[in-house]
Chains A and B, each alone.
Chain A
Amino acid sequence: MAEVSKLVDVTRCVGCRGCMVACKEWYELPGEWQQARFEGGYESARGTLGYHRWVNVQFYELPDRGQEPPGWFFRKHQCMHCGEPACVAACPVDALYPTPEGVINLDQDACIGCRYCESACPFGIPQYEPERRKVSKCIMCYDRILEGLEPICVKTCPGGALMFGDRGRIMAEAEARLATVAARFPEARIYSPAGVGGTRSVYLLPGPPELFGLPVGPQVPASVTFWQTVAKPLGTAAVGAALATTAVAAVIQRRMNGGDKGAGGGRGDPSGQRDRAAGEGE
């Protein structure tokens, strides 16, 4: 099967959040209403992902960009499905793995809850659940893809913001759409950053990525590459030893101490302004 991709066209999203509920319907994920509270904006849980929330639509008010009408944009946040997936490299038990189609799949049964992937991901995607000691994330509806169906979010999207298919076709569509929106959004661009090997979730953004909570030049952390090439081959039995001796240990230690939240996407800072122009926080 060919390499696939999903286009997320921020210039077309109407912010209805059908994708969020569709994802939960398909994967039988409960709504996390017990913790939900209004945080000063439309987003749920400040736009962050959760163990049961693999997709979240982030709302960006950008009134001062000189556009007419003033900007209010909606970015569907989910796994980027990197070409060089740091999470896969970091995973000591191969619970995360790339499929031949380029989807980064997650075998939750195999996950040991070590959270290396969480630290490694430059987009803040994997979500850890302490009781289950597992992570979760979007798997691009791999079960549907194998049956020739598009991901449920793409299927349900009313605004035509989401599109799924062969990567070549998706990249061509992204280019074509970029040309048509150039007049409305002179700073529009395609986002599939090379530092992580390109992403199977491809954005068409109306402006620079930092305005939409995305890292400008995400890279696979050097520590992860080291882990991948040197330490990981020692095998899972040596995880403890590896932790003591590799840079990954330092990464994890920092996270445990509350720092190093990862670049974009993770909007967990409870003191931050809501709906701010991105780039000023996190």
Chain B
Amino acid sequence: MAIARMRKVTILAYEEFEAPLFEKLRDTGLMHVTKSAAAGVAGQPEEIDSHAEVPEYVKKLSQLAVIKSYFERYNTIKKGFFDMFTGKKPEISFNQFKDAVANYDVSEVYAKVQEHDRKLGDIGEEITGLQQKLEVLQPWRQLDIPLNQIGETGTCDTCLAVVPSAVLGSEALTSPGVHHKVIWEDRGQAGIWLAVFMGEGPGEQAANPLLAALGGTRLNLAREVEDFVDAGLVDDICRAMETRLSDLHKEQATILEKDAEMAQGLLDILALTDYYLDKQNLDQIRKEASRTRFTLVVEGFVKAKQVDEFREQLNCFKDIEIIDEEPGEDDDVPVYLENHPIIRPFEAVTAIYGYPNYRELDPTPWLAPFFWLFFGLCLGDAVYGIMLSLFSWWFIKTQNLEDDRFMRLLMYCGFSTILAGALTASWFGDFPVAFLKGTFIERITSSIAVLDPINDPMTLLLVSLAFGIIHIWVGIIVKMVGTIRDGQLVDAILDNGSWVLFLPGLVLWGLSKAGVIQSGVGLYIMAAGAVLVMISGARNQKSIFMKPISAVGKFYDIVGYFSDVLSYARILALMLASAIIGVVVNTISSLVVDMLPGVGWVVIPVILAFGHLLNLAINALGSFVHSGRLQYVEFFSKFFEGGGTPFRPLKRVRENVSLTD
């Protein structure tokens, strides 16, 4: 059936085989390892040693993470647009992988990366510093006095200062004992060289009072340029700085070039990350096993039909005991869904909700036809269906997906969309009518149509609700089948069978009342069902007086079913939404023809392509989530328990790269 049978497997081995055993288990990829029930009970308690050596992979992984983020600045692995959606990993050949593990010196590269990172940081800092200084010096380049000679002489205080241009001709600057020279003038400011006679007294910085009076500021350029001051003239200093700058740029370029070259090894880094993650994973899995002084107990599950293969693979270990048995009642058995290839893509729908538990039915085959149908009805446009199917088909062919269930699902759902679209004459909305009126295409498309959702939504509403009733009815049947499978035949017939009879009886009776059908058989089916419903309501009631009330009260469930059925009106709404937006796009493009005579026909394809693609994208998303919701909320609530753990056999970690041969 749909949920694969599992065998519980226990492996007993000498402890010395631990590492090779787990590696072998990983390589076979057949066993889902669980925590051993005996772990921590049998044998010695786990030794907790805080001084235990930190495993090598921890250090390597942290180094690799640093290298990876450093290398990614150079982005040497190109990713395609679709890879963002598929999560496709870069490919590496097995030989390159082996080579990387054997020869790549992570620590050395790490040290180099750290060094380069630091150097680049230092260089960057120095470059900004120099550029700022150059900016400050630039206006003073005309100064013909070396900077280191500006300062206090025996009798004079000389300095550079910035003053407002307005004071340049003022008396203070031209008075005796004061001498100045304008070096630059810009935006109301002027840079001057100033010499003030100090006389005989020890008047330190005699220029200061004068500058304060003028509203100027004294500059100490010599301090600003520090290391370069010996070059003498400002112009020379600037030149020295420029030389240094170009040296720095050259050094930077060399490092970047080296890094870019080194970053070619990004693929190796990713592969190595996977290699050490795998080690980490194995190490953690090993903790699940229990051990005595000399032996090791590994527990887990293997698919029943792979047990022989599993034993075969482990034959290489001589002194090892493998026990396989039927899982017990209390075991949390992992679930692997196994369906017919046609149904398999719909496992993606089940997986979104969660896996069934091991002991119940797999809902996938039951939900598959409904999901397929509902999606098609919601999207409901033949051309969109064709596009969706073709795109998914092309995607599966070209993208080499690990798990193509989802895209296959879309491809199948494209078929139902084509069907629904053809039946409702929706081909790119009303494209045939709007643009191809009178041609044979319009005649064909309208001749296969049976329903017009836009002008006759009532019929479609009834169709939607009818599908809803069938869906819910099937849900109750699945519950009945499950209960019978568990051996509770009476419960199944009374609790579920009653509704299985009652609901269609009610519908048939309603239809005959409304005069749609002539047969009165519905009344009898409904009556039979009603009796069973009442028995089912009454039988669990202890008190004899309360029994009639419980019996009648059971009919209250109808309210629940009724509101469930109403929820299917969304099928109509979504179908209308995609159909009408299609019509709107067509209408807008034909309006454009009228508005822009002549050039209108050029714009039409653009509007059509954009509008219809947008409609397709938005409504495909809506159709998917709403068809899903109808399964999860309305359908699953009738029978599904869930809570199963997915079957995840121990495998090599493939988080960053995928191996090719």
Question: Is A bound to B?
Answer: no
